[in-house]
Amino acid sequence: MMRELNKLLLCGLIPVLLIFTACEEPTENIDDTREPIAIFLASEVDTLLLLVNNTYTLAVQGIFAETSENTVFNSGVLAEASYTYLITDTIAESINVSRPNWYSSNQSIATVSAGKITGRAAGMAEIWAVIGEIFSDTLVVVVSSPQLPPELILDPPPVQLVFQDSTTVSGRIPAELDVTLTVAGDTIEYNENGEFSTVVALVTGENDIRVVAINNANGLSTTKSKLIIFYQLDQAGITGYWEGETLTRPFSFNIIELFGVYVIDGTMTVDFTMLGGPLIVQDIIIAGQVNEDGTIDASLRQEWQGFTITGTLNGIFLDSGTAEGSYGVKIRKDGWPTASVSATWWAKRPPPSGSSANDIQHGNK
């Protein structure tokens, strides 16, 4: 998931660098004759579990652009004065792994050469690549030994509010070890990559879901927990005013119950001032609902000075006082290329006057 988010965020950066461009899916072309404007590591995970003396090979993707400059004379839509902007098709392409300089934050734990990571000793290190002055994102590598308890990673969030009597718990263990894995007391299977996912039944209120991984070679184990709070929508205390932030701009919304449906109504602001002009679109309408499983599903829309702004906003409740998610926005205008931006958001519900934070967290009214 985080890898996909990194790709979305990278695509979201392109309009900042190249005014009104569109990000496409990576191609398999390898062209080392051009300079990329951004690079990122191609991995399915943000945290890699690796045994001592084992290896893992990364790939690298680069954002490339063929550009042409055009002088645009504008009379009030984006800027009062003329400016230069770039029209281009922006694509992600593979980069030869021998081209970047590779770095490890702790070479006693993990080394890297031409994208090949080797575990050296138990511990944690970060891996990244550099081309010129362009840095990639980082990959966290956790190296473990077969003689130690197995590493165990649970997918976020660690605390979650849900509105149905079951949910999914997922994560990863080192694929090379012989491990017995239990979730909420039930033994479950994991795939060849060490990934697992299982549905657990919930009771009303707090559910402390314990996940245990036992190294069958030495009997050593690792235990981690995930707190899942199960309430009916009308018990959770989610209605009312919420305030939050996306990028560096605050936004807000209300959740109200209307004929048994929980409706979201609010506004947000998207700041595009780095696109070449003072383009700050305010009062983008948020309209949607909280689904029966507690997920937030809303649309974004605004008509502004000839531009049409559309998008989606999604999220989940971490507990009854906080929520987070992501949004994507497209801006269109006849005769203009389309701009796309994706980013994350968070929000909180301020405690009502006279109520304690504990009352809000546990849905008391």
Domain boundaries, the chain: 2-144, 153-230, 236-361
For the chain, the helix, strand and coil percentages under 3-state DSSP, each to the nearest 5: 5, 55, 40
Q: CA geometry: angle at 207 spanning 355 and 202, to 5°? A: 115
Per-residue confidence (pLDDT) for residue 292, from 0 to 100: 85
Q: Which of 3.30.300.30, 2.130.10.10, 2.60.40.1080, 3.30.1370.60 is the CATH number of 2-144?
A: 2.60.40.1080
Looking at residue 25, the DSSP 8-state letter turns out to be P
pLDDT band of 179, cuts 50, 70, 90:
very high
Write down the CATH number for the domain with range 153-230.
2.60.40.10
Beta strands 55-57 and 205-215, pairing class? unpaired
| pLDDT score of 332 more than 60 | yes
Do 146 and 51 contact (CB within 8 A), yes or no?
A: yes
Specify the higher pLDDT residue, 27 or 151.
Answer: 151
d(CA 31, CA 64): 10
> Which tops the pLDDT comparison, 229 or 14?
229
Residue pair 9/15 in contact (Cβ under 8 Å)? The answer is no
Cβ(313)–Cβ(325) under 8 Å? yes
What pLDDT shows up at residue 235?
A: 79
Helix (H), strand (E) at residue 5: helix 2-17
Say if residue 18 is exposed, middle or buried (CB neighbours under 10 Å; 0-12, 13-18, 19+).
Answer: buried
Q: Which residue has the higher pLDDT, 16 or 25?
A: 25
- Give the range among 4-13, 75-84, 85-94, 235-244 with minimum mean pLDDT: 75-84
Is the pLDDT at 24 greater than 70? The verdict is no
Structure confidence by residue, pLDDT tens digits, 318-329? 887 899 999 988
What is the 3-state secondary structure of 191-258?
CCCCEEEEEEECCCEEEEEEEEEEECCCCCEEEEEEEEEECCHHHCCCCEEEEEEECCEEEEEEEEEE
Residue 38 sits at the vertex; the CA angle it makes with 126 and 24, to the nearest 5 degrees, is 115
Is it the case that residue 20 has pLDDT exceeding 60?
Answer: no
| Amino acid 354: pLDDT | 53
CATH topology assigned to domain 236-361: Lipocalin (2.40.128)
- The confidence score (pLDDT) of residue 337 equals 72
Domains 2-144 and 153-230 share a fold: yes
Region of poorest pLDDT, from 111-120, 141-150, 226-235, 277-286: 277-286
pLDDT higher for 162 or 13?
162
pLDDT at residue 253 in the model:
95
Query: In the structure, what pLDDT confidence band is assigned to residue 28 with cuts at 50, 70 and 90?
Result: low
Instruction: Name the pTM for this structure.
Output: 0.68
The per-residue pLDDT for 140 is: 95
CB atoms < 10 A from the CB of 163, how many? Answer: 22
- Asked if the bond preceding 36 is cis, omega within 30° of 0, the reply is no
- Segment holding 11, helix H or strand E: helix 2-17
**In the chain, what is the greatest distance between 2 CA atoms, to the nearest angstrom?**
73
Q: What is the DSSP letter of 260?
A: T
Lowest mean pLDDT among 12-26, 60-74, 188-202: 12-26
